[in-house]
């Protein structure tokens, strides 16, 4: 199966994915009475594994919920040594540069990957390793926070795949890298 790296993320109009102190409350500012998953379940069905950084991993651990992922999670971290006992079989710590990490993950048979977390997405973009961007825009100019994008060594052309609007407020655009 051809490898593919997908970004799926909620963002503000000004492309922040979290507030300055990691605030995520604004992501829910538009009520979701129909509990639409806005493509999340499709994504989860489609992928083989999730790749995230230490910060996203800690954030998920900090939510007072059961471990939310059915798919294998790879956590990119130089500093983490262990994961909590109850999710030891679900989480793999991994380190190295983006290409090495992908090689390791592909060798284990995981090809379609959900790339999550600000820093990880930025580093993958820098290496032109992102194949799909699925960006969900909340109608707020956040003004400050953790950016989805930072400067890249070169421009990356995408093709627009589709745009959907949820509740006439939330705009989701999907893009595929032109190669």
How many residues in total does the chain contain? 179
Distance (Å, rounded) from C-alpha 162 to C-alpha 177? 13
Cβ closest to a copy of itself, residue 160 vs residue 179: 160
Report the alpha-carbon distance of residue 172 to residue 118 in Å, rounded. Answer: 18
At 91, give phi and psi (nearest 5°).
-125, 130
Based on the shown chain and the rule CB under 8 A, indicate whether residue 153 belongs to the binding site for a copy of itself: yes
Please state, in angstroms and rounded to a whole number, the distance separating the CA atoms of residues 132 and 5. 7
Which residues are 93's β-sheet partners? 75
Please report whether residue 36 would count as binding a copy of itself according to CB under 8 A.
no
From residue 77 to residue 116, what is the string marking binding to a copy of itself with x (rule CB under 8 A)? ----------------------------------------
Token representation of residue 58: 């800690």
The CB-of-142 to a copy of itself minimum distance in angstroms stands at: 5
Residue among 57 and 175 whose Cβ is closer to a copy of itself = 175
**Which residues contact a copy of itself (rule: CB under 8 A)?**
13-15, 26, 29, 125, 133, 135, 137, 139-144, 148-149, 151-160, 163, 165, 168-171, 173, 175
């Amino acid at each position: 199966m051809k490898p593919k790296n997908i970004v799926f993320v909620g963002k503000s109009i000004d492309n922040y994915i979290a507030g300055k102190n990691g605030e995520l409350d604004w992501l829910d500012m538009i009520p979701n009475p129909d509990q639409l998953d806005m493509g999340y379940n499709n994504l989860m069905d489609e992928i083989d594994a999730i790749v995230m950084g230490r910060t996203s991993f800690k954030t998920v651990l900090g939510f007072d919920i059961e471990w939310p992922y059915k798919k294998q999670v790879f956590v990119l971290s130089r500093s983490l040594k262990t994961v909590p006992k109850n999710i030891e079989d679900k989480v793999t710590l991994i380190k190295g540069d983006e290409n090495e990490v992908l090689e390791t993950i592909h060798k284990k048979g995981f090809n379609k990957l959900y790339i999550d977390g600000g820093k990880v997405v930025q580093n993958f973009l820098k290496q032109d390793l992102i194949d799909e961007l699925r960006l969900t825009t909340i109608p707020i100019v956040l003004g400050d926070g953790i950016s989805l994008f930072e400067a890249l060594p070169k421009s990356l052309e995408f093709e627009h795949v589709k745009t959907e609007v949820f509740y006439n407020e939330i705009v989701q655009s999907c893009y595929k890298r032109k190669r």
